[in-house]
Amino acid sequence: MTTVTRIKPSAAWLWAGALIGLAVLSLFVGVTSISLRDVFTDAEATKLFFVSRLPRTLAVLITGAALAVSGTVMQMLVRNRFVEPMTAGTGQGAALGILLSVTVFPAAPLMAKMVIASVTALAASVVFLMIVRRLPPQQPLLVPLVGMVYGGILGAMVVFFAYQTDLLQYVSVWMNGEFSGVLKGRYELLWLAAITAIFCYIVADHFSIIGMGHEISINLGLNYKQVMLMGLIAISIVSALTVVTVGMIPFVGLVVPNIISRRMGDNLRATLPATAMMGAGMVLASDILGRLLRYPFEIPVGSVFGVIGAVIFLWLLYAPARHAR
């Protein structure tokens, strides 16, 4: 059985300090150089700070935290540590929903498009869950393999319909997440993702129990179908909001929960705060790297984290598990 530990107060303060440091650095990294003094003395710098830099940093933090939390929840529902929404069809399902809303209901408000994307993401997650249940439990690596194939099929459908409707360039934004277009008034829907992540923490004990399996959950008095539905809806909302606002960022919901689980165990009540902090910090660090590697040009954060996440994923496959004692 997995040993569970909580973050030591000193480590928690260290993590929080590192995250705050990255956030402050993000506020002052960009093509246009501004300083803290400029924010209070220069009208243009003040406008840039509050219209672009601050919203972008908040969007990165919310996206990283919400994706990491939703990845943890999905791993509990599927009972496999090598799956996450953006590589198992949920993100591609959200992109398909956005494409359908753009072609069928082009005049629909953004909230309506988000609802359509959430519904298609939920449908994609349910289908994936049905497929996973038919796989042999003694071969756990089949689950992420099938998830990647399934997500690839849905992604191919998105590209096909986008090609038919001359929306390939539009779709490319969703398939490769980046934050350069985040401005005040264009990211606020992500706060719903933050609320969803908080909700997941409130019901974290239920997700921990459901990760033990169907029979154990029923014997402990848990409403298995209700909790499964809550988890799938939460994952779908986070995926849809992320794809609608900034695009798909792969591997966040895969590598972060695995790192935390190896160090702290599987008690979500204890680990979800650390998962959210690490997810926010890693995505923010990737975004800063994307702004600096080819300065003054930007590399999308999805590309940067995709490379980092692929390396960490290979490490997770081959490295022996280590749990805190």
Domain contains 77: yes
Domains: count for the chain: 1
Domain contains 250: yes
**Which among 42-51, 190-199, 231-240, 291-300 has the top mean pLDDT?**
190-199
pLDDT tens for 215-253 read 888 888 888 888 888 888 888 888 888 887 887 888 888
Q: Which two tokens stand for residue 91?
A: 């993100």
Domain contains 325: no
Domain contains 1: no
Distances (CA, A) of 89 to 83, 116, 122, 145, 186: 10, 16, 10, 12, 25
CA 98/CA 107 separation, integer angstroms? 13
CA 283/CA 289 separation, integer angstroms? 10
Q: Which two tokens stand for residue 68?
A: 């990491």
Q: Which two tokens stand for residue 297?
A: 């040009």
Domain contains 247: yes
Tell which residue, 275, 264, 221, has the closest CA to residue 74.
275
CATH of the domain at 144: 1.10.3470.10
Query: Which H or E run includes 312?
Result: helix 301-318
pLDDT tens for 156-190 read 888 888 888 777 777 776 677 778 778 887 788 88
Domain contains 75: yes
pLDDT for residue 198? 93
Q: What is the pTM of this model?
A: 0.84
pLDDT for residue 5? 54
Domain hosting 74: range is 9-318
DSSP 8-state secondary structure symbol assigned to residue 111: H
Q: Which residue has the tokens 């829907």?
A: 189
Cβ-count burial 299-316 (b if 16+ within 10 Å, e if not)? bbbbbbbbebbeebbeeb
